[in-house]
């Protein structure tokens, strides 16, 4: 799964990388501790025009009467996305890219604090997670919401966690966004083991209130009490 991430790229740079027009209400950057239910940076495409726009991280199905009417849906499993009632229409027609500099995952060892790792692309390029989105509206309270598509972990990720976000390469962005016809389902696969870089970071990020660049500072991978 993916339950926390960081985004450090300036808005103008994000718009350039994704060849998108930036909205004027994007979340502030940098943010080293992006948590579920906050606004995240997404890219959508409408008739070939890409927009860099904010969405709530936490997909809200149209039948929810409130954002808390059911489970918090921050991830969508690639194996079942096409059949789950909450996700299947979005998987066909409302796909997006969710932008991050990296994400956090925790290795859990019985009797010890969860040990956080910060994961980035090995080439240090921005990450583009496969995402789906949904407009939700009740009594005039409207918002765009999204979830990250996940797949089984690759061999590099498996020692830390059994799930992994679907991370799209630049050549696949257009297909996922529907700009190149059909075939998006074939993209919901693991990245290569050598495509990711893993950094052990301190346990300060275990708190969703933590902030600042110190959260991604490397520490000794064998340290358990930082």
Question: Is 100 part of any domain?
Answer: yes
CA–CA distance, 66 with 57 (Å, rounded to integer): 15
C-alpha pair distances (Å), 60 with each of 67, 72, 75, 162: 6, 8, 11, 25
C-alpha span between 226 and 136 (Å, rounded) = 41
Per the structure block, which two tokens stand in for 190?
Answer: 């693991």
Q: pLDDT-derived band of residue 111, with 50, 70 and 90 as boundaries?
A: confident
Segment 41-81, tens digit of pLDDT = 999 999 889 999 999 999 999 999 999 999 999 999 999 99
Structural domain count of the chain = 1
| Closest to 165 (Cα-Cα) out of 183, 189, 134 | 189
- pLDDT surpassing 90 at residue 6: yes
For residues 146 and 55, is the Cβ–Cβ distance under 8 A? yes
pLDDT of residue 224: 57
CA distance 222 to 109: 13
Q: Which of 78, 66, 62, 183 is nearest to 131 (CA)?
A: 78
| Domain membership flag for residue 157 | yes
Tell me if 137 is assigned to some domain: yes
The reply to whether 226 falls in a domain is no
Q: Using the 8-state DSSP alphabet, how is residue 67 labeled? A: T
* pLDDT for res 92: 96
pLDDT per position as a tens digit, 172-199: 999 999 999 889 999 999 999 999 999 9
pLDDT at 149 over 70: yes
139 found inside a domain: yes
**Which tokens is 187 given?**
């993209």
Task: Assess if residue 221 is contained within a domain.
Answer: no
- Tokens 């409302």 map to which residue? 94
pTM of the model: 0.95
Q: What is the CATH number of the domain that holds 41?
A: 3.90.1680.10
Task: Tell whether 129 is covered by a domain.
Answer: yes
> Cα–Cα distances in Å, from 13 out to 52, 57, 103, 113, 179?
11, 21, 19, 37, 22
């Amino acid at each position: 799964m993916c339950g926390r991430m960081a985004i450090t790229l300036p808005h103008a740079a994000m718009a350039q990388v994704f060849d998108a027009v930036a909205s004027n209400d994007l979340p502030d950057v940098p943010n080293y501790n992006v948590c579920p239910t906050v606004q995240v940076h997404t890219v959508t495409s409408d008739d070939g025009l890409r927009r860099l726009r904010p969405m709530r991280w936490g997909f809200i199905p149209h039948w929810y009467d409130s954002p808390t009417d059911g489970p918090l849906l921050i991830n969508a499993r690639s194996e079942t996305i096409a059949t789950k009632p909450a996700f299947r229409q979005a998987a066909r027609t409302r796909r997006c890219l969710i932008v991050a500099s990296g994400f956090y995952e925790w290795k859990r060892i019985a009797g010890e604090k969860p040990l956080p790792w910060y994961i980035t692309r090995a080439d240090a390029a921005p990450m583009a997670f496969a995402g789906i989105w949904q407009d939700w509206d009740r009594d005039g309270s409207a918002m765009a919401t999204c979830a990250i598509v996940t797949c089984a972990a690759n061999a590099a990720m498996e020692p830390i966690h059994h799930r992994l976000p679907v991370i799209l390469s630049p050549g696949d962005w257009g297909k996922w966004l529907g700009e190149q016809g059909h075939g998006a389902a074939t993209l919901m696969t693991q990245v290569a083991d050598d495509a990711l870089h893993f950094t052990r970071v301190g346990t300060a990020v275990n708190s969703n209130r933590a902030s600042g660049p110190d959260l991604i500072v490397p520490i000794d991978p064998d340290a358990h009490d930082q």
